[in-house]
Structure 1
Amino acid sequence: MVLPSRSVRPISSSDDEDDEAPLDPAIERVRVRLKRLMLVSVATLMIGLVAVIIAVLYKVGPMRDKPALAAAAGETLVDGVLPPGSRLISTALDGRTMTLTFEDGGKLRVVIVDIERAKVLRRLVLGSGAPPDSP
């Protein structure tokens, strides 16, 4: 069975433009507004995407604010950190500081020590109730 041949004419953009009537001025203003809104929306989306990528790279990147402590030979003695008879509960290292949590006389205390300088930076007493009066 042979089908009759039809002449096929390629569609071009000039054919579409010739068939369209010019838009009403009110509709043209709406079209321009929508186009501007789309551009602003796409720009906002791209700025947000770049901000998220930068934030992720910042969090994943190397941490330069806490350099590693250099290895030292021997031991360093820090006097007066733990009172006699106290019970050490936990320790934590954070870069160049060490936090010691201990119990002394029924009170929970925290001492923050600078490891490099072997110096007590801060002493805290943890408890319930009002803070003690300062002199």
Structure 2
Amino acid sequence: MSSPEVEEVEEPLDPAVERVRRKLVRLLMVSSGVMVIGFAAVAIAVFYRLSANSARPNSEAVAIAVSPADLVSVSMGDGTIAFTIGGATPRVEVRRVSDGELVQTFALGTPAATPE
């Protein structure tokens, strides 16, 4: 009877086949290294973008010299805030939200007379 465990003895490879095997192993190592470097670069880029976006803007209060009675409306968008101001000289002031700096002023026509 034959034994259930048959040991196969591997014969040494032909020198040409051995060279091809070594080249393939080297190629596998190089491509694996490139992939690891690529994944590391993507992870670093994601971490950088997340940490850069978490920076808080300057949160100092900005005061404008307008009477609350003259303030008609306020609208905000695209990093700016627009104040519509009535009174003796009606105008629209556009200011940056980040620092409150005046970007542009639009003069409006004279206010309409109110009927009595």
Task: Give the TM-score taking structure 1 as reference length.
Answer: 0.45
